[in-house]
Amino acid sequence: MAKVLVVDDAAFMRMMIKDILVKGGHEVVGEAENGRVAIQKYQELLPDIVTMDITMPEMEGIEALKEIRKQHPAAKVIMCSAMGQQGMVVQAIQAGAKDFVVKPFQGDRVLESLAKALG
């Protein structure tokens, strides 16, 4: 069971992913609605893993990912986005993301991604 920080600007998306994670036996320790809040929450909660949306107001997910990894090189982050564009995937992986999940979320894929990243 992992402690997860869920980051997405859409409340219903956070709810969807929380539901998947909790049913999969994980604990959601916090939520953030943008990259700036995600960085603060990461410092506070030190979760095992983060699910991070890419497109958000105030600070984009990839920017937040880079900042979190700069402060915590071992941080595990899975990027989530409705845009399954190759460029975004490559950018996220180069920035240190462990995996990339495309919305709409498929429960099995999210849990598989977590298991792989934590493995």
Bond from prior residue into 57 cis (ω within 30 degrees of 0): no
- Euclidean distance between CA atoms 103 and 119, whole angstroms: 23
Label residue 84 by pLDDT band (50, 70, 90).
low
Q: Report the Cα–Cα distance between both ends of the chain, in Å, rounded.
A: 12
Q: What is the pLDDT of residue 38?
A: 98
| Domains of the chain as residue ranges with CATH | 3-47+63-118 (3.40.50.2300)
DSSP, res 107? H
pTM over 0.85: yes
The two three-digit tokens of residue 95, written as one number: 């920035």
- Euclidean distance between CA atoms 41 and 7, whole angstroms: 10
Q: What's the whole-number mean pLDDT along residues 74-102? A: 89
3-state DSSP assignment of residue 83: coil
pLDDT digits (tens, 9 = 90+) for 100-110: 998 888 999 99
Nearest to 5 by CA among 80, 66, 63, 57: 80
Q: What is the pLDDT of residue 7?
A: 98
CA-atom Rg of the chain in angstroms: 12
pLDDT digits (tens, 9 = 90+) for 21-54: 999 999 999 999 999 999 999 999 999 999 999 9
